[in-house]
Amino acid sequence: MPALIVGGLMSRNDAFVESLRIPWLMAGNLIVFGLLLWWADRASRRNREVASVDLRAALWIGCAQVLALIPGVSRSGITISAGLALGLTRVDAARYTFLLSVPITAAAAAHGAWQLLKSSEHLEISQFVIGAALAAVAGVACIHFLLGFLRRVGIWPFVVYRIALGTLVLSVLAWR
């Protein structure tokens, strides 16, 4: 709910949204939130399961998800970080993150569909439905793969990726 509320408010202020799309900020966020993910993984007790998430913990993770509205902050990365900080296991933090993505993704898809319906573009409903169904199947397959990957390898590849990409973007910006 927090991300839906804040996202809805942000969508009414284009100037504010554009002010967040600063390449230096995005690159810095890649690095900072990569380090936060590393810290959350290292500091976590990782002894809680999804079933132990109460309203307070759910709100905490939901508020963390709001940060993902800022470019360079990964929605799944920040919610996994919050879940780990609350003591969830890696797999349960990721599982909760994917469950949490359902309402925000559905809201974004509904918003996009509404914008498309309002536009003058021709819309073929069957193609839209087929595309949505294929995206759902691919999403479930990716989630299954990622949960297995987290069990075997852990979080570090995502941390390395975020720090390397942020460093690369900062380097490119500095050379311009």
DSSP state letters, 137-150? HHHHHHHHHHHHHH
**What are the sequence ranges of the domains in the chain?**
2-175
Helical residues (DSSP H) of the chain, grouped into ranges: 2-10, 14-19, 23-43, 55-66, 75-85, 90-118, 125-152, 156-175
pLDDT for position 10: 72
At 111 the pLDDT is: 78
CB 23 within 8 A of CB 65: no
For 142-158, letters b (16+ CB in 10 Å) and e give ebeebbeebeeeebeeb
Mean pLDDT of the chain: 86
Per-residue DSSP letter, 123: -
Instruction: Please write the tens of the pLDDT for every residue from 16-73.
Output: 667 777 889 999 999 999 999 999 999 988 888 888 899 999 999 988 988 988 889 9
Q: How far apart are CA 173 and CA 176, in angstroms?
A: 5
pLDDT given for residue 77 in this prediction: 94
Q: What is the mean pLDDT of residues 130-149?
A: 89
For range 80-92, the mean pLDDT? 94
Residue 74's contacts (CB-CB under 8 Å, 6 or more residues apart) are 33, 68, 162
| Backbone angles phi and psi of 87, in degrees to 5 | 95, 5
Mean pLDDT of the region 135-160? 91
Please determine, for residue 5, whether its predicted confidence score (pLDDT) is greater than 90.
Answer: no
Render pLDDT for 93-105 as a digit per residue (tens, 0 to 9): 999 998 888 877 7
At 15 the pLDDT is 67
Q: Is 39 helix (H, G, I), strand (E, B) or coil?
A: helix
Residues 134-139: what's their mean pLDDT?
Answer: 88
For residue 78, give the nearest of 171, 155, 133 by alpha carbon: 155
**What was the pLDDT predicted at 108?**
76
